[in-house]
Amino acid sequence: MKTKNRPPRRRVPAQDPEAAAGERTPDGPQQGSGLELAKGLRSRTVRAQGARAEGGHRRPGASGPGGRRENSVQRRLESNERERQRMHKLNNAFQALREVIPHVRADKKLSKIETLTLAKNYIKSLTSTILTMSSGRLPGLDGPGPKLYQHYQQQAAAGGALGATEPQPEGHLQRYSTQIHSFREGS
DNA sequence: TAGGCCATCTGGTCCT
DNA sequence: AGGACCAGATGGCCTA
């Protein structure tokens, strides 16, 4: 995996949505390309693209009275800003997650996919640790052990987070440990 | 230079 | 109706 330790980039937001859209193909993004089929698009995406194709090339506000056009441009700019804010919040959440996941070589920033994958396996390893520690309790005594174990069994039976096809609990810690090294040491 | 990662724009859909 | 959510497209930056 490549290293990523660059400062956050800030792209200049397009001032004119019309101009920004002008570089795109008039019919919208990659209609019916093989790439889309290969990716297995959701029905929602297929509907969206169909609508774009049927609707022709005109985008809302592209014609008509100037006031309406300006309105639509203004709404687009506001929408863009909201989307930016939403993505910033999402990135903040990613950063918060990075900060609570132990990983080697902390000078390198984890990518989003690395963060999610490590987080998933970290949770699994913690779960297995808790289960291991609680399994020493005598059955029938009060405490988290039996309930935790029952919960684990239910999850496994339902094919949940710790599904039946997953390794045994003690395997999660080993896998997590292996993974944090493989992520950071050149795989 | 290719490939990975990312930010941003965009328009359709969902939700309140 | 308006905002949130989502995913495709695009282009920039960086590293190997």
Q: Which nucleotide is nearest to A4 if distance is taken from CA to C1'?
A: C14
Query: Which position has the token pair 């919208």?
Result: A28
pTM for this model (two decimals)? 0.60
pLDDT, averaged across chain A: 58
Q: Which nucleotide is nearest to A10 if distance is taken from CA to C1'?
A: B7
Closest amino acid to nucleotide B14 (CA–C1'): A44
Quick check: A118 and A97 in contact, CB under 8 A? no
Let me know the angle formed at the C-alpha of A142 by A138 and A148, rounded to the nearest 5 degrees.
80
Closest amino acid to nucleotide C12 (CA–C1'): A11
Q: Between the ranges A37-41, A49-53, A92-96, A104-108, where is the mean pLDDT highest?
A: A92-96
Looking at residue A99, its pLDDT comes to 86
Pair of tokens at residue A132: 């291991």
Q: Which CA distances in Å does A172 have to A36, A96, A166, A177, A179?
A: 35, 23, 9, 8, 10
Pair of tokens at residue A66: 């100037």
Q: What are the pLDDT digits (tens) for A165-174?
A: 344 445 666 6
User: Which residues sit close to strand C, CB under 7 Å?
Assistant: A 2-6, 9, 11, 23-25, 29-30, 33, 35-36, 39, 41-42, 44-45, 75, 78-79, 82-83, 86
How many contiguous H segments (helices) and E segments (strands) does chain A have?
7, 0
* Eight-state DSSP code of residue A18: H
Quick check: A183 and A118 in contact, CB under 8 A? yes
CA separation for the pair A95, A83 (Å, rounded): 18
A80-109: average pLDDT: 83
Protein CA at A177 to nucleotide C1' at B9, angstroms: 39
Contacts of A71 (CB under 8 A, 6+ apart): A61
Residue A42 has pLDDT above 50, yes or no: no
Residue A92 three-state SS = helix
Q: Is the CB of A42 under 7 A from strand B?
A: no
Q: Amino acid letter at A63?
A: S
Protein CA at A139 to nucleotide C1' at C15, angstroms: 55
**% of chain A residues with pLDDT over 70:** 33
Q: What are the pLDDT digits (tens) for A115-158?
A: 998 898 899 999 999 988 877 554 444 555 456 666 666 655 65
Q: DSSP letters along A104-159, please?
A: S-TTSPPPHHHHHHHHHHHHHHHHHHHHHHHTTSPTTSSSHHHHHHHHHHHHHHTT
Q: What are the pLDDT digits (tens) for A58-68?
A: 233 333 345 66
Protein CA at A88 to nucleotide C1' at C10, angstroms: 19
Pair of tokens at residue A126: 């913690």
Quick check: A53 and A29 in contact, CB under 8 A? no
